[in-house]
Amino acid sequence: MNGIWKTGVLLAAAVAISPLNLGASGRSVRSGSAMREMTPEEMARDAYNSGIGHKDKGLRAEKSDPKKAKVEYEKALKDFKHATELVPNMFQAYNGMGFAYRKSGDYEKALEMYGTALQMAPGFPDAIEYRGEAFLALNRVDDAKQAYMELFASDRKQADILMKAMGDWVTQRKAEPAGVDPAALTAFEGWMKERGALAGQTVSMGLTPVHTAWQ
């Protein structure tokens, strides 16, 4: 997956720091032959990357051990929150909080966090895609469509990920409508087929939009 968040590593391009070796306390680092206190940015990076670790463990445990997954997402949320307390403008951590809230079923709070991330980093594709999935969970189909169209113009890989999530949502709603009108579901499925055909045409014509990867 594309982006700092989905690669699972917070790189120096996002927060101007270098790889560090932590001291025993976790708050000191060695600089040459001397020890020094970690900066807030360095501690935020470590908190963020710890959150990524818990997020990945949660994903791996989702099917086999849902209770463990829930615990891991809670730990990830705690780490991401700590990162934003240390560095309030770390948009990747807000995106991570949105992910953890969404996996915990708090979709409204997830949308709030994605919105904050996008205020700080307009166009951040990971947040747009994740927000699209949160819209689907709330049956906000038109908003999910808008998220897809935005990604289609800027980040085709993320657009494809959201399209797959849309297909999964349609399958789920056919089995459990959850208040979604069958006619609306059919119309949405038709829209998906049209967009899928168009996506295939642009790929075959070599018209895939070019974007700068988040590094």
Contact 166, 144 (CB under 8 A): yes
How confident is the prediction along the chain (215 residues), in pLDDT tens digits per residue? 434 444 444 543 333 222 223 333 356 666 556 778 999 999 999 999 999 999 999 999 999 999 999 999 999 999 999 999 999 999 999 999 999 999 999 999 999 999 999 999 999 999 999 999 999 999 999 999 999 999 999 999 999 999 999 999 999 999 999 999 999 999 999 999 999 999 888 764 444 443 333 22
Q: What is the pLDDT of residue 35?
A: 77
Q: Which regions of the chain does DSSP assign to beta strands (E)?
A: 28-31, 34-37
Name which CATH class applies to 1-10+38-114: mainly alpha
| Distance of alpha carbon 124 from alpha carbon 106, whole angstroms | 21
Backbone angles phi, psi at 69, to 5 degrees: -60, -45
* Other C-beta atoms lying within 10 Å of the C-beta of residue 12: 11
- 115-to-12, 60, 65, 150, 177 alpha-carbon distances in Å: 24, 27, 30, 15, 27
Q: What is the pLDDT of residue 36?
A: 81
For tokens 């289609």, the residue is 152
The model carries a pTM of 0.79
The number of C-alpha atoms within 13 Å of 145 and in the hemisphere containing its C-beta is 14
For tokens 């990971």, the residue is 126
Q: What is the pLDDT of residue 95?
A: 98
Q: What is the pLDDT of residue 12?
A: 35
Q: What is the pLDDT of residue 213?
A: 31
- Cα 164-134-193 angle, rounded to 5 deg: 30
Q: What is the pLDDT of residue 204?
A: 46
Q: What is the pLDDT of residue 30?
A: 61
Contact 121, 105 (CB under 8 A): no
- Domains of the chain, residue spans: 1-10+38-114, 139-208
